[in-house]
Amino acid sequence: MLNDYAKIFTQAENYNIAYLCSGYQCDLGFGSRVAFRWVFPDRSLLNITFAELEEDSNRCANMLLDLNVIKGDPVFTFLPKQPSLYSFFLGILKINAIACVLFSNFGEEALMDRLGDSKAKILLTNKGFLRKVKSIWDSLPELEKIIVVDIEEQESERVLSYQKLLGSSSLNLTIPPTVPDTPSVIHYTSGSTGKPKGVLHVHRSIISQVKTFREILSVEDGDIFWCTADPGWVTGVSYGIIAPLSQGITQIQYSGTFNAEIWFEILQNEKVNIWYTAPTALRMLMQEDTSLFAKFDLSPLKFIFSVGEPLNPSVIDWARSILHKDVYDTWFQTETGAIMIANRPGMEVRPGSMGKPYEITAIILDEQNLPVPPRQQGRLCLEPGWPSMFICYLNKESVYRQKFASGYYETGDLAYKDENGYFWFFGRGDDVINTSGHLVGPFEIESALLELDEVAEAGVIGAPDELMYEKVVAYISLKQDISWTRSLEIKLRLHVSNKLSSIATPQEFVIVERIPKNKSGKILRRLLKAWYTGEDVGDVSTLESE
């Protein structure tokens, strides 16, 4: 397949990701092959072939053309995992519009920030989520139409029925020339200050996604692949849509949430060969009685890979003893678009290490931007120029430039490299919280908490957690005469969950007299973290004057 790509890429106009994911597979004669094997929570199954995907995504593309969507227009989905999301996603890319999948758990403000910042033109959603979207629609002047997957008739000029539009859309589509630099996908990612940033990728990114799929995740023709990530996050798009489809590989999609028994049933019944998942999920499995695993025959399973958070050596030990498999850790980010540092089959796994860089120069820099010797911790930076590198943060040019100020791309992570070239993750260099592999920005949560009358000040940190790697802990001070009660706690939790998402909802509140800040009013989250862990921070006045 990679050779075929070399042939197809000799034409600079042939880079359309969605064509490579569907039409090209049909051209290669794989139309009747299963692209998606859906497993639903009630254990029912649905196969979607590459030919069906080609048809549906062509119809979606034509539906969008009929709605006057043009090249470069942002088109969003806000849906739980379901087949129509995937056809629509490919339809968007087929006409050179830009696709963004919103995590289905997002609350109003999280939606507002993303739809508003990108000036989204069209949104695909469902009846259940419509009310949430309508409540913010007045503040989104660029959002022209909402398409609803589960209404049979159009509700108004601007609220349309997906089924109806699909039924009247043509099957025939000519894919426009798509050069490698054509914008393709936006993912939003959280920072430690300000609102989430829109990370823009281009169709060229498929090169890195395909190569890493074949050479790191080691997927061979005929393998069954299962990436458990939600398409609302980069892994769920790069490896849960683009890489497997564009390689003609059958992949599993499970639309339910975590359930150890069902997950193992899927691995067994669907004869999964390559499984790409996350440390939190593996740690949750580790909590199960080992007798559960003895019931299942996982002999087709060749390799397990993990991404999103540090992979503890104990998880690797567990998988070795219970599943008789190694777990290979991989590292990447929304901005990198594809795996950058990884362990892989055939390479010695050093438990606790993220592995070695793949077709990229990774470097550890000190505060003077100089490379540090082995085993010395510093900022993890990458030499720019890999094919799946993001091309900008939407509307945040200076933040983008800042990321490359040292001449390298600044990942924001702290790490060290050993004498043998293995990289070891230490933590984030900023205050961003990584909870179960999902990044959340403390600033957004603090802002949401401050909206409530009872809260005077708020400072939010990620605190160590055995299961989720980090949990969200909110330090708050209350306004005069307000006392901390269980009902106030519930009110705060609900507010953050409705505004942002359940992922961002604090697991724990700590009530303090005042939130420590430096002289310019910046919250000292480092100090809060030290308070939480009981670490000695020494002279606080140095922090306060920073």
- Give me the least distance between CB of 221 and ligand AMP, in Å please: 27
Task: Compare residues 24 and 443 and give the one whose CB is closer to ligand AMP.
Answer: 443
Q: How far apart are CA 131 and CA 515, in angstroms?
A: 36
Residue 407: half-sphere exposure toward Cβ, Cα within 13 Å:
8
- Give me the least distance between CB of 198 and ligand AMP, in Å please: 13
Sequential DSSP letters for 27-86: HTT-TTSEEEEEE-TTS-EEEEEHHHHHHHHHHHHHHHHHTT--TT-EEEEE-SS-HHHH
Task: Compare residues 5 and 106 and give the one whose CB is closer to ligand AMP.
Answer: 106
Task: Compare residues 56 and 431 and give the one whose CB is closer to ligand AMP.
Answer: 431
Q: How far apart are CA 340 and CA 360, in angstroms?
A: 7
Amino acid at 149: V
Task: Compare residues 138 and 348 and give the one whose CB is closer to ligand AMP.
Answer: 348
Task: Compare residues 308 and 516 and give the one whose CB is closer to ligand AMP.
Answer: 308
Closest residue to ligand AMP using C-beta atoms: 334
- Give me the least distance between CB of 8 and ligand AMP, in Å please: 29
Q: How far apart are CA 86 and CA 513, in angstroms?
A: 49
Task: Compare residues 120 and 234 and give the one whose CB is closer to ligand AMP.
Answer: 234
Task: Compare residues 354 and 476 and give the one whose CB is closer to ligand AMP.
Answer: 354
- Give me the least distance between CB of 324 and ligand AMP, in Å please: 22
- Give me the least distance between CB of 310 and ligand AMP, in Å please: 4
First to last CA, the chain: 54
- Give me the least distance between CB of 212 and ligand AMP, in Å please: 13
Q: How far apart are CA 296 and CA 267, in angstroms?
A: 9
Task: Compare residues 223 and 329 and give the one whose CB is closer to ligand AMP.
Answer: 329
- Give me the least distance between CB of 451 and ligand AMP, in Å please: 25
Q: What letters, b where the CB count within 10 A reaches 16 and e where it falls short, cover 110-136?
A: bbbbbbbbbebbbbbbbeebbeebeeb
- Give me the least distance between CB of 341 and ligand AMP, in Å please: 8
Residues that bind ligand AMP (CB under 6 A): 189, 234, 307-310, 329-331, 333-334, 354, 411-413, 425, 428, 434, 439
SS3 assignment for 163-192:
HHHHHCCCCCCCCCCECCCCEEEEEEECCC
Amino acid at 495: H
Nearest residue to 327 (alpha-carbon basis) of 345, 308, 300: 345
Looking at the DSSP assignment, which residues form a beta bridge with residue 470? 464
Task: Compare residues 20 and 110 and give the one whose CB is closer to ligand AMP.
Answer: 110
Amino acid at 92: I
Nearest residue to 176 (alpha-carbon basis) of 203, 201, 199: 203
- If DSSP codes are grouped into helix, strand and coil, which group holds residue 222? coil
Q: How far apart are CA 3 and CA 21, in angstroms?
A: 16
Task: Compare residues 5 and 331 and give the one whose CB is closer to ligand AMP.
Answer: 331
Nearest residue to 428 (alpha-carbon basis) of 417, 443, 441: 441
- Give me the least distance between CB of 425 and ligand AMP, in Å please: 4
Q: How far apart are CA 190 and CA 192, in angstroms?
A: 7
- Give me the least distance between CB of 339 and ligand AMP, in Å please: 9
Task: Compare residues 196 and 387 and give the one whose CB is closer to ligand AMP.
Answer: 196
Looking at the DSSP assignment, which residues form a beta bridge with residue 329? 306
Q: How far apart are CA 531 and CA 475, in angstroms?
A: 10
- Give me the least distance between CB of 98 and ligand AMP, in Å please: 18
- Give me the least distance between CB of 508 and ligand AMP, in Å please: 21
Task: Compare residues 96 and 334 and give the one whose CB is closer to ligand AMP.
Answer: 334
For residues 503 and 105, the answer to whether their CB atoms sit within 8 Å is yes
Strand segments (E) across 300-398: 303-307, 327-331, 341-342, 356-357, 362-365, 378-382, 392-393
Q: How far apart are CA 343 and CA 329, in angstroms?
A: 6
